[in-house]
Amino acid sequence: MTTKRLDELWKRGKDFLGTQYAILGGAMTWVSERNLVSAISNAGGFGVIASGAMSPDLLRTEIKATQELTSKPFGVNLITMHPQLMDLIDICIQENITHVVLAGGLPPTQAITKLKENGIKVLCFAPALVLARKLIKLGVDALIVEGMEAGGHIGPVSTSVLVQEILPHIKDIPVFVAGGIGRGEAIVSYLEMGAAGCQLGTHFVCTTECIAHPDFKKAFLRAQARDAIIAPQLDGRFPVIPVRALANQATKDFIDYQRKLINQVDQGILELKEAQLKIEHFWAGTLKRAVIEGDIEHGSMMAGQSVGMVTHEQPTQDVINELILQATSALESRTMPKAAALC
C-alpha cells in the first residue's frame, strides 16, 4: 500500500523523466560524469551530466561514454552563460538527449525554442515565484526549486520557504525540489506538498561509483551540516556569487584575497572593475583541485548542508534503496493509526 502511495505521489515526475523513481542527481562539476550519472540512472533515478565549461567535443565524448554504461534515461546540465551554449545544444540534439537542464541564469529564448523544436524536454531553476511564472511563459517543461541549503552556487532563500512560495501556485508543469535533501521522509513531505520529485547532489558524492578523490570523500564523511558554509562577502562594492562549500584554508584565503583587493582599490592602485573580475576568477580551477586532485585544503569543497547525513561510502543503488525505504516507512507510519483504529 505504501509503495503504491509513493508511486502515486511522484507519478507525474516519473512519467516526465521516464524513470522508476522521480529522483534526479544534482549536476556537480567534475563529479557528475559518466560513472556517477549512469549509476544513478541504472539504480532507477535520473542522472544528469554536469557539462560545466566543457567544449562541444568533450560533451559529445561524455554523452557517448555515458550511453555505453546505461540504456536508461539521463540528462545534461548546460550553463546558460557558456559562450558556446547553442553549439552544446546541437550536441545534445545530435546525441539524442531527452532532457536538458539550463542553469546559471535566465536562459535565452532561442535556447529553449531550439531544444523544444527538437523534442528535448527543458528544465530550469526557479529561485522565486515571479521567475517561475516567467519561465513557464518562455515554454520550459519543468522547474527545479533549489534552496540555499544546497551545495555550490546558491540563492538567498531556504528550500522550505521556496516550496511554500512556489508549489501552491505552479500546477501547469512538474516542479522538482532540491537543496538540503538527505532522507526519504523529506522527499515524501515535498511530494505531498505538490512536488513531482526531488533532486539530490551531496548525497551521491560518497558513492562507490563516484570518481571524486578519496580525500574529498573523507572530508564529506567527517563533515557536519554547520561545516558547509557560504563564501563571505566583505564589501558591497565587490559582489560575491554565493557558493556553499566546506570551510577550509581556501575559504580563509578567499577572505584575505578580498581584503587585499579592497585595500588596493581604496589606495587607487587597482580599478574597481578589475578587482571585481579578480574576485570572480578566484575559484576558477579550485573545484577540480579538490575533487580530482584531492587538495582538500586549497581546493573548493562544494557541499550542501545535508553533508552531515552522509556517513559512509556505499553503492549508488544502496543510496536509492535507503531513500525509498525511508519514504515508504514514513508513509506507513502515517497509515498505522488508522489501521489500528479499525481493529
Conformational region of residue 126, where left means phi above 0, alpha means psi within -120 to 50, and beta covers everything else: beta
Q: Alpha-carbon torsion 73, 74, 80, 86, what sign?
A: negative
- Please report, as a single letter, which amino acid is at residue 107: P
C-alpha cell read off for 6: 509513493
CATH architecture of 2-200+313-340: Alpha-Beta Barrel (3.20)
At 284-297, the pLDDT tens digits run 679 999 999 999 99
Q: In the prediction, which pLDDT does 336 show?
A: 65
Q: In the prediction, which pLDDT does 339 show?
A: 47
Print burial letters for 59-92: b (CB count within 10 Å at least 16), e (below 16): bbebbeebeebbebebbbbbbeebeebeebbbbb
Q: Which residues pair with 244 in a beta bridge?
A: 152, 230
Sorting pLDDT into bands at 50, 70 and 90, what band is 317?
Answer: very high
At 6-42, the pLDDT tens digits run 999 999 999 999 999 999 999 999 999 999 999 999 9
Distance of CA 211 to the CA centre of its chain: 17
C-alpha cell read off for 141: 517543461
Under a CB-based contact definition with an 8 Å cutoff, are residues 152 and 244 in contact? Answer: yes
Q: What is the Cα–Cα distance from 334 to 265, expressed in whole angstroms? A: 60
Q: What is the Cα–Cα distance from 62 to 32, expressed in whole angstroms? A: 10
Looking at the predicted structure, is the pLDDT value of residue 283 above 90? Answer: no
Q: In the prediction, which pLDDT does 173 show?
A: 98
| Cell 557517448, located at residue | 64
Exposed/middle/buried for residue 235 (C-beta within 10 Å: 0-12, 13-18, 19+): middle
Under a CB-based contact definition with an 8 Å cutoff, are residues 47 and 74 in contact? Answer: yes
Prediction pTM value: 0.93
When mean pLDDT is compared across 1-5, 169-173, 272-276, 314-318, the lowest value belongs to 1-5
At 162-220, the pLDDT tens digits run 999 999 999 999 999 999 999 999 999 999 999 999 999 999 999 999 999 999 999 99
High-pLDDT (> 90) share of the chain, %: 84
At 78-88, the pLDDT tens digits run 999 899 999 99
At 224-237, the pLDDT tens digits run 999 999 988 888 88
Exposed/middle/buried for residue 27 (C-beta within 10 Å: 0-12, 13-18, 19+): buried
- Please report, as a single letter, which amino acid is at residue 77: N
Q: What is the Cα–Cα distance from 238 to 144, expressed in whole angstroms? A: 29
C-alpha cell read off for 59: 560533451
Q: Where do the structural domains in the chain lie, given as residue ranges?
A: 2-200+313-340, 214-305
Q: Alpha-carbon torsion 166, 169, 175, 177, what sign?
A: positive
Looking at the predicted structure, is the pLDDT value of residue 341 above 60? Answer: no
Q: Alpha-carbon torsion 259, 264, 267, 268, what sign?
A: negative
